[in-house]
């Protein structure tokens, strides 16, 4: 599974921070509140592909032009 966090930089540019081969490293926990939504917390970590250990499993995408979020 790949995971992307899309946000704007301080200058307003749109970027995506991508983690490839993200695997869950911890147990899934959920907090139940009275008549509230469930809040879950987990830890995901990028993992190297054993067939290509020289390639870092993260990258950043910089979007050009006018975009709306």
pLDDT in tens, 6-51: 999 998 899 999 998 888 887 777 777 777 777 777 888 888 988 9
Distance in angstroms (rounded) separating the CA atoms of residues 5 and 50: 25
42-61 per-residue burial string, b: 16 or more CB within 10 A, e: under 16:
eeeeeeeeeeeeeeebeeee
Torsion (CA) 5, 10, 12, 14 in degrees, nearest 10: -20
Query: 53, 14 in Cβ contact below 8 A?
Result: no
Give residue 5's pLDDT. Answer: 93
Q: What is the CA radius of gyration of the chain?
A: 16
pTM across the whole model: 0.66
């Amino acid at each position: 599974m790949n995971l992307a966090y899309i946000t704007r930089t301080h200058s307003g540019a749109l970027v995506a921070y991508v983690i490839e081969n993200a695997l869950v490293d911890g147990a899934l926990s959920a907090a139940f509140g009275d008549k509230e939504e469930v809040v879950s917390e987990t830890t995901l970590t990028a993992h190297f592909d054993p067939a290509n250990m020289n390639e870092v499993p993260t990258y950043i995408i910089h979007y050009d032009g006018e975009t709306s979020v």
